Homo-oligomer: A and B are copies of this chain.
Amino acid sequence: MRFGVVLLPVTMATLLLRRQLGFSLHILRSSLSGCRHVSKAAPQAQMDWDYDGPSMKTPVPGPRSQGLLKQLGEIQNVDAINFFCNYEESRGNYLVDVDGNRMLDVYTQISSIPIGYNHPALHKLMADPNNLSTFVNRPALGILPPGSFPDKVTESLLSVAPSGMSRVQTMACGSCSNENAYKAMFIWYRNKERGGSNPSATEEDLSSCMINQSPGCPDLSILSFMGGFHGRTLGCLATTHSKAIHKLDIPSLDWPIAPFPRLQYPLEEYTRENAAEEARCLEEVEDLIVRWRQKGRPVAGIVVEPIQAEGGDNHASPDFFKNLRNIARKHGCAFHVDEVQTGGGCTGKFWAHEYWGLDDPADIVSFSKKMLTGGYYHKDELQADKGYRIFNTWMGDPSKNLFLIEVLNVIRRENLLEEVRRSGKALLQGLYALQEQYPSLLSSARGQGTFCAVDICDDATRTKILLKARDKGVLLGGCGDRSIRFRPALIFKEYHVALFLNIFNDVLAQLK
């Protein structure tokens, strides 16, 4: 009997009850241990263009990948490369490598593939000759946009704009999105300081900024959180605090860094302890805002992820974020929600911060990855007062908007947010069961939608698990010190969850 097939009908409440009763799911058995050549029929086949299971032909990286690694190693640092892919043959939830290995992809290019590989809807788009010019002629969007641009932005980005936001600025990638969001907050903050409806810079502002000096380049700051990740360009990097390898040797800015709550999971079992931890962090946030103002580096904006992803899938409660938003308003700081990894539907809502129920919307919401284009939404007052202040040559890429329109059509047509909630529930239930089965290996299973994670006992074991899972045809990614993050595409169905949990169970059984 398949693990998934039994587990899926079990509700979260029943499962929690079982956990409390010390009930252990003895049906978790390894049926595939030691077998490299995994090929299983999925219990259902809802998508006729998807493969029906992993299929491993060689160790990974296989001989072709190894040859290519050597070739590319002459050109670039290849330390971070897993293997080389055959994107032509990849389909749906399955990534195929150049050695013919087919893997269930639960990492999706660092969470950046919304509806799987080679989705027919995207190929259809490419087959339409009306679209070709958009690919061939990349414009300088900020000065000479295509006539279709306002409609395409409305049809794509604005159709999923977070509540309270009707303005959006596209950018090429996540880092550029956050860099420019920070700039928008600095400009907004300084104009507010200047006062008036048409604030103008002084001669001293204009001359001092040319040589990087205040008041033209003011000593303003962005408050970020320990464990946060917002990109790797110098401005973003000053707010990124997830891993030393990202920051080592790069000059930075003296900006305040608040503790992010370190909660205990499952959240509903530790509400009192977690609330105290969140209160402690919020107090520190206010304290930092006051101290940085006193030292002449006022906080122009606060940036935060709804779930700290790269930093280890650290959650906080809606109350935490609501209070944070209030603190930002109270102290005159902009409130920037970075949805680069959480946005686009993977949490079961289109934007993770929709779970908070904010009365007053965020000031800025940035995105990239699964949105295929970078950019940020913002409130009206966060729009720069003049042209060329938020600007670069490309400012995004209209061909990515075309893809996004199709992705959104698929999400709506196939009810994918609901599917994500359903698959996510099954995934989390399965992780709960597994951490009960393997308490020495797994802990702190947590998640929203399919945006789930689990902690591993230590980093070395995590590495073993990731490699063994890959050998069995499941592609996973780590985050934080010792977590595994699950980042499937939005088309990851319950039967993919079952398939994954079966293989994951086999991996854990081998390590027990």
Q: Is the CB of A71 within 8 A of B388?
A: no
Knowing A79-B386, A209-B244, A216-B248, say if A173 contacts B394 (CB, 8 Å).
yes
Smallest beta-carbon distance A153→chain B, Å: 6
Residue A154 interfacial (CB < 8 Å):
yes
Q: Is the CB of A253 within 8 A of B253?
A: yes
Q: Residue-by-residue, is A370-402 near B (CB-CB < 8 Å gives 1, otherwise 0)?
A: 001000000000011011111111100001000
Closest B residue, CB atoms, query A108: B140
Q: Is the CB of B257 within 8 A of A212?
A: yes
Knowing A135-B126, A388-B80, A393-B110, say if A144 contacts B176 (CB, 8 Å).
no
A182 to B306, CA, bound (A): 30
Binds B, one of A219-227, A274-282, A327-335, A448-456: A219-227
What copy number does this chain have within its complex?
2
Q: Find chain B residues with CB under 8 A from A248 CB.
A: 187, 190, 201, 205-206, 209, 216, 389
The number of chain A residues touching the other chain, given as a range, is: 35 or more
Q: Residue-by-residue, is A232-248 near B (CB-CB < 8 Å gives 1, otherwise 0)?
A: 11111010010011111
A117 to B146, CA, bound (A): 13
Q: Residue-by-residue, is A391-423 near B (CB-CB < 8 Å gives 1, otherwise 0)?
A: 111100001000100000000000000000000
Q: Is the CB of B118 within 8 A of A136?
A: yes
Smallest beta-carbon distance A497→chain B, Å: 22
Q: Is the CB of A82 within 8 A of B143?
A: yes
Knowing A77-B390, A234-B235, A254-B212, say if A145 contacts B84 (CB, 8 Å).
yes
Q: Find chain B residues with CB under 8 A from A217 CB.
A: 247, 249-252
Closest B residue, CB atoms, query A169: B76
Residue A45 interfacial (CB < 8 Å):
no
Q: Is the CB of A147 within 8 A of B64?
A: yes
A8 to B403, CA, bound (A): 47
* A205, A221, A235, A254: residue with the most chain B Cβ atoms closer than 10 Å: A235
Q: Find chain B residues with CB under 8 A from A117 CB.
A: 136-137
Residue A85 interfacial (CB < 8 Å):
yes
Q: Is the CB of B144 within 8 A of A77?
A: no
Q: Is the CB of B85 within 8 A of A144?
A: yes
Q: Which of A294-325 contact B (CB under 8 A)?
A: none
Q: Find chain B residues with CB under 8 A from A244 CB.
A: 201, 205-207, 209-210, 216
Residue A83 interfacial (CB < 8 Å):
yes
Q: Is the CB of B247 within 8 A of A79?
A: no
Q: Find chain B residues with CB under 8 A from A180 CB.
A: 232-233
Kindly list the 7 A-B residue pairs having the minimum CB-CB distance in the complex, ordered from nearest.
A79-B387, A234-B235, A80-B387, A212-B252, A217-B252, A98-B147, A109-B140
* 16 CB < 8 A contacts A-B: A72-B149, A75-B158, A76-B383, A77-B383, A84-B149, A87-B146, A112-B393, A126-B136, A173-B173, A174-B393, A176-B233, A187-B250, A189-B249, A205-B249, A216-B249, A233-B236
Residues of A near any B CB (own CB < 8 A): 64, 68, 71-72, 74-88, 90, 95, 98, 109-110, 112-113, 117-119, 122-123, 126, 130, 132-140, 142-147, 149-150, 153-154, 158, 166-169, 172-176, 179-180, 182-183, 186-187, 189-191, 201, 205-207, 209-213, 216-221, 226, 231-236, 238, 241, 244-255, 257, 368-369, 372, 383-384, 386-394, 399, 403
